[in-house]
Amino acid sequence: MSSRELILGRVRRALADVQPDDTPYEQAVPRGYLREHGDLSVEETVELLAENLADYRAIVHRTDTAGLAGTIAGLLAAHGSSTVLVPPGLPQEWLAATETARVADRVESTPDELDQVDSVITACALAIAETGTIVLDGSPDQGRRRITLVPDHHICVVRVPDQVVSSVPQALERLDPTRPLTWISGPSATSDIELDRVEGVHGPRTLEVVLVAPSVD
Protein backbone atom coordinates (compact mmCIF):
# COMPACT_ATOMS: atom_id res chain seq x y z
CA MET A 1 0.00 0.00 0.00
CA SER A 2 1.37 3.41 -1.02
CA SER A 3 1.49 6.46 1.26
CA ARG A 4 -1.21 8.07 -0.86
CA GLU A 5 -3.56 5.11 -0.43
CA LEU A 6 -2.85 5.01 3.30
CA ILE A 7 -3.69 8.71 3.76
CA LEU A 8 -6.84 8.54 1.63
CA GLY A 9 -7.96 5.46 3.55
CA ARG A 10 -7.66 7.34 6.83
CA VAL A 11 -9.63 10.26 5.40
CA ARG A 12 -12.43 7.92 4.27
CA ARG A 13 -12.61 6.27 7.70
CA ALA A 14 -12.74 9.66 9.40
CA LEU A 15 -15.65 10.70 7.18
CA ALA A 16 -17.52 7.41 7.41
CA ASP A 17 -20.05 8.67 9.99
CA VAL A 18 -20.79 11.97 8.25
CA GLN A 19 -24.44 12.01 7.20
CA PRO A 20 -25.28 13.00 3.61
CA ASP A 21 -27.59 15.74 4.85
CA ASP A 22 -24.97 17.40 7.06
CA THR A 23 -24.46 21.11 6.47
CA PRO A 24 -21.80 21.60 3.76
CA TYR A 25 -18.46 22.87 5.06
CA GLU A 26 -18.69 26.16 3.19
CA GLN A 27 -21.99 26.88 4.98
CA ALA A 28 -21.16 25.45 8.40
CA VAL A 29 -18.96 28.35 9.51
CA PRO A 30 -20.49 31.83 9.61
CA ARG A 31 -18.46 34.23 7.51
CA GLY A 32 -19.97 37.59 8.29
CA TYR A 33 -16.72 39.46 7.82
CA LEU A 34 -16.63 43.23 7.67
CA ARG A 35 -15.95 44.28 4.10
CA GLU A 36 -14.00 47.28 5.34
CA HIS A 37 -13.17 49.09 8.57
CA GLY A 38 -14.47 52.62 8.77
CA ASP A 39 -15.92 54.73 5.99
CA LEU A 40 -13.01 56.15 4.03
CA SER A 41 -13.34 58.24 0.91
CA VAL A 42 -11.57 57.18 -2.28
CA GLU A 43 -8.79 59.68 -1.60
CA GLU A 44 -8.40 58.52 2.00
CA THR A 45 -8.23 54.88 0.86
CA VAL A 46 -5.40 55.69 -1.54
CA GLU A 47 -3.59 57.59 1.23
CA LEU A 48 -3.97 54.60 3.56
CA LEU A 49 -2.47 52.35 0.88
CA ALA A 50 0.53 54.67 0.50
CA GLU A 51 1.07 54.80 4.28
CA ASN A 52 0.93 51.03 4.71
CA LEU A 53 3.15 50.36 1.71
CA ALA A 54 5.76 52.67 3.23
CA ASP A 55 5.29 51.02 6.62
CA TYR A 56 6.29 47.72 4.99
CA ARG A 57 9.40 49.47 3.60
CA ALA A 58 8.23 49.72 0.03
CA ILE A 59 9.31 52.97 -1.67
CA VAL A 60 6.23 54.84 -2.86
CA HIS A 61 6.15 57.27 -5.78
CA ARG A 62 3.25 59.26 -7.20
CA THR A 63 2.69 60.51 -10.71
CA ASP A 64 0.02 60.80 -13.36
CA THR A 65 -0.34 59.01 -16.68
CA ALA A 66 1.57 61.70 -18.55
CA GLY A 67 4.51 61.53 -16.14
CA LEU A 68 4.67 57.74 -15.74
CA ALA A 69 7.28 57.07 -18.42
CA GLY A 70 9.58 59.73 -16.99
CA THR A 71 9.11 58.39 -13.45
CA ILE A 72 10.00 54.85 -14.51
CA ALA A 73 13.03 56.06 -16.44
CA GLY A 74 14.19 57.96 -13.37
CA LEU A 75 13.80 54.95 -11.09
CA LEU A 76 15.78 52.70 -13.43
CA ALA A 77 18.51 55.31 -13.74
CA ALA A 78 18.67 55.89 -9.98
CA HIS A 79 19.03 52.16 -9.41
CA GLY A 80 21.79 51.96 -12.01
CA SER A 81 19.89 49.35 -14.01
CA SER A 82 21.38 48.31 -17.32
CA THR A 83 18.67 45.67 -17.94
CA VAL A 84 14.97 45.52 -17.12
CA LEU A 85 12.71 42.49 -17.44
CA VAL A 86 9.45 43.34 -19.19
CA PRO A 87 6.27 41.18 -19.25
CA PRO A 88 4.80 40.75 -22.75
CA GLY A 89 1.64 42.75 -22.04
CA LEU A 90 3.24 45.74 -20.34
CA PRO A 91 2.19 48.98 -22.11
CA GLN A 92 5.12 50.02 -24.27
CA GLU A 93 4.56 53.70 -23.55
CA TRP A 94 5.57 53.09 -19.93
CA LEU A 95 9.16 52.53 -21.11
CA ALA A 96 9.20 55.22 -23.78
CA ALA A 97 11.57 57.48 -21.82
CA THR A 98 14.26 54.92 -20.96
CA GLU A 99 17.02 53.33 -23.01
CA THR A 100 17.57 50.53 -20.50
CA ALA A 101 17.99 47.22 -22.33
CA ARG A 102 14.80 45.15 -22.16
CA VAL A 103 14.76 41.45 -21.27
CA ALA A 104 11.76 39.37 -22.35
CA ASP A 105 9.79 37.14 -20.01
CA ARG A 106 10.71 33.72 -21.47
CA VAL A 107 9.63 30.25 -20.38
CA GLU A 108 13.15 28.90 -20.84
CA SER A 109 14.85 31.55 -18.67
CA THR A 110 16.81 29.91 -15.84
CA PRO A 111 16.98 31.23 -12.26
CA ASP A 112 20.61 32.17 -12.86
CA GLU A 113 19.66 34.20 -15.94
CA LEU A 114 16.87 35.96 -14.04
CA ASP A 115 19.28 36.71 -11.21
CA GLN A 116 21.47 38.67 -13.65
CA VAL A 117 18.60 41.05 -14.48
CA ASP A 118 18.89 44.39 -12.69
CA SER A 119 15.19 45.28 -12.47
CA VAL A 120 11.72 44.06 -13.33
CA ILE A 121 8.69 46.23 -13.97
CA THR A 122 5.08 45.01 -13.78
CA ALA A 123 1.55 46.19 -13.40
CA CYS A 124 -0.69 44.55 -10.77
CA ALA A 125 -4.15 43.04 -10.39
CA LEU A 126 -5.03 45.29 -7.46
CA ALA A 127 -3.73 46.77 -4.19
CA ILE A 128 -5.23 46.50 -0.70
CA ALA A 129 -5.13 49.67 1.39
CA GLU A 130 -5.69 48.20 4.87
CA THR A 131 -2.81 45.75 4.57
CA GLY A 132 -0.46 47.58 2.19
CA THR A 133 -0.56 44.56 -0.10
CA ILE A 134 -0.12 44.35 -3.87
CA VAL A 135 -1.60 41.33 -5.65
CA LEU A 136 -0.30 39.98 -8.96
CA ASP A 137 -2.30 37.41 -10.93
CA GLY A 138 0.01 36.49 -13.79
CA SER A 139 -1.81 38.58 -16.40
CA PRO A 140 0.18 39.61 -19.50
CA ASP A 141 1.17 42.96 -17.96
CA GLN A 142 2.53 41.13 -14.89
CA GLY A 143 4.18 38.05 -16.37
CA ARG A 144 5.19 34.82 -14.69
CA ARG A 145 5.43 34.72 -10.90
CA ARG A 146 9.15 33.96 -10.88
CA ILE A 147 10.14 37.18 -12.64
CA THR A 148 9.09 39.14 -9.53
CA LEU A 149 10.80 36.73 -7.12
CA VAL A 150 14.33 36.46 -8.53
CA PRO A 151 15.46 39.94 -9.70
CA ASP A 152 16.59 42.20 -6.85
CA HIS A 153 14.58 45.29 -7.84
CA HIS A 154 10.85 45.33 -8.60
CA ILE A 155 8.97 48.37 -9.88
CA CYS A 156 5.21 47.84 -9.65
CA VAL A 157 2.67 50.24 -11.16
CA VAL A 158 -0.71 50.63 -9.45
CA ARG A 159 -3.46 52.56 -11.24
CA VAL A 160 -5.28 54.70 -8.68
CA PRO A 161 -8.01 54.73 -7.71
CA ASP A 162 -9.33 51.97 -10.01
CA GLN A 163 -7.02 49.21 -8.75
CA VAL A 164 -7.21 50.12 -5.05
CA VAL A 165 -9.60 48.34 -2.67
CA SER A 166 -10.00 48.96 1.03
CA SER A 167 -9.83 45.44 2.44
CA VAL A 168 -8.98 41.79 1.85
CA PRO A 169 -12.68 40.75 1.51
CA GLN A 170 -13.11 43.37 -1.22
CA ALA A 171 -9.98 42.06 -2.94
CA LEU A 172 -11.21 38.46 -2.87
CA GLU A 173 -14.44 39.53 -4.54
CA ARG A 174 -12.47 40.92 -7.48
CA LEU A 175 -9.72 38.30 -7.83
CA ASP A 176 -9.98 35.11 -9.85
CA PRO A 177 -9.04 32.20 -7.52
CA THR A 178 -7.97 30.10 -10.49
CA ARG A 179 -5.18 32.56 -11.33
CA PRO A 180 -1.61 32.22 -9.89
CA LEU A 181 -1.97 34.90 -7.22
CA THR A 182 1.10 36.48 -5.61
CA TRP A 183 0.49 38.67 -2.56
CA ILE A 184 3.26 41.18 -1.86
CA SER A 185 3.53 43.25 1.31
CA GLY A 186 6.79 45.14 1.02
CA PRO A 187 10.19 43.81 -0.09
CA SER A 188 11.17 40.24 0.72
CA ALA A 189 12.31 39.99 4.34
CA THR A 190 12.91 37.50 7.10
CA SER A 191 14.30 37.54 10.64
CA ASP A 192 16.41 35.06 12.54
CA ILE A 193 15.91 34.01 16.16
CA GLU A 194 17.57 37.23 17.34
CA LEU A 195 15.14 39.26 15.20
CA ASP A 196 17.85 40.54 12.87
CA ARG A 197 15.99 41.54 9.72
CA VAL A 198 17.43 40.44 6.37
CA GLU A 199 15.90 41.62 3.09
CA GLY A 200 16.07 40.03 -0.33
CA VAL A 201 16.19 36.39 0.80
CA HIS A 202 13.29 35.00 -1.22
CA GLY A 203 12.28 37.93 -3.38
CA PRO A 204 13.34 41.46 -4.36
CA ARG A 205 15.40 43.44 -1.88
CA THR A 206 13.88 46.68 -3.19
CA LEU A 207 10.20 47.19 -4.01
CA GLU A 208 9.21 50.51 -5.58
CA VAL A 209 5.50 51.17 -6.06
CA VAL A 210 4.32 53.83 -8.48
CA LEU A 211 0.81 55.11 -7.78
CA VAL A 212 -0.32 56.53 -11.10
CA ALA A 213 -3.43 58.68 -11.36
CA PRO A 214 -5.21 59.76 -14.56
CA SER A 215 -3.79 62.92 -16.09
CA VAL A 216 -5.93 66.03 -15.74
CA ASP A 217 -6.59 67.68 -19.09
What CA–CA distance (Å, rounded) separates 208 from 76?
Answer: 10
**Structural domain that includes position 147:** 41-213
CATH code at 205? 3.40.50.10420
Residue 71 lies in a domain: yes
Q: How confident is the model at residue 199 (pLDDT cuts 50, 70, 90)?
A: low
Position 189 scores a pLDDT of: 65
Chain segment 67-83, per-residue pLDDT in tens: 999 999 999 999 999 99
Amino acid present at 167:
S
Tens digits of residue pLDDT in 137-169: 999 999 999 999 999 999 999 999 999 999 999
pLDDT tens-place string over residues 81-121: 999 999 999 999 999 999 999 999 999 999 999 999 999 99
**Does 3 fall in a domain?**
no
Residue 16 is assigned to a structural domain of this protein: no
Are the CB atoms for 182 and 32 separated by under 8 Å?
no
Is residue 133 domain-resident? yes
Q: Are 135 and 171 in contact (CB under 8 A)?
A: yes
User: How sure is the predictor about 213, in pLDDT bands with cuts at 50, 70 and 90?
Assistant: very high
| pTM attached to this predicted model | 0.83
Residue 10 lies in a domain: no
The pLDDT tens digits for 7-66 are 999 998 888 887 777 777 777 777 777 788 888 999 999 999 999 999 999 999 999 999
What is the H or E stretch that residue 20 is in? Answer: none
User: Is pLDDT above 60 for 200?
Assistant: no
Structural domain tally of the chain?
Answer: 1
Q: Examine the pLDDT at 197 and tell me if it is beyond 70.
A: no
3-state secondary structure 148-196: HCCCCEEEEEEECCCCEECCHHHHHHHCCCCCCCEEECCCCEEECCCCC
Q: Residue 34: inside a domain, yes or no?
A: no
Residue 125 is predicted with a pLDDT of 98
In a domain, 4, yes or no: no
Q: How confident is the model at residue 198 (pLDDT cuts 50, 70, 90)?
A: low
Residue 25, domain member (yes or no): no
